[in-house]
Amino acid sequence: MLVARRGRAYIGDEQRLESAMTKITYVTSQGERIETEGENGSTVMETAIMNAVPGIVAECGGACTCATCHVYVDEDWREAVGGPSMMEEDMLDFAFDVKDNSRLSCQIKVRAELDGLVVHVPTRQG
């Protein structure tokens, strides 16, 4: 028997059959940890906006044309997240204090392999 609970589907004794949600933690520039669940297929930026994460502005709404959704991917997650596309790299030139682990959060798709992802919010955008 399938039982839907909090965006997840379970079978029998609650063994997870399929997860539609992925845990993402945002660490603000003040060190506050905001734990969220993002819907798979959405983006890390959209999850931040849905959860009112301070410091993620996302002026362009995810079109990769503003760089105000800049985050630092936690070192433990860099490989799983991967690097930016050429278009994203060009846009990162407009972000504040860019580092090797900088990404635009609107370009990171939420997916099951990123369950537990940690990203850090810069002190300011743009």
Q: Which residues bind ligand FES (CB under 6 A)?
A: 45, 58-60, 62-69, 91, 104, 106
Least distance from ligand FES to the Cβ atom of residue 23, Å: 21
Judged by beta carbon, residue 20 or residue 34, the one nearer ligand FES is 34
| Residue positions counted in the chain | 126
Least distance from ligand FES to the Cβ atom of residue 3, Å: 36
The structure tokens listed for 84 are 């930016």
Helix (H) or strand (E) holding 64: none
Amino acid identity for residue 90 in this structure:
D
Least distance from ligand FES to the Cβ atom of residue 85, Å: 12
The CA R_g of the chain, rounded to the nearest whole Å, is 15
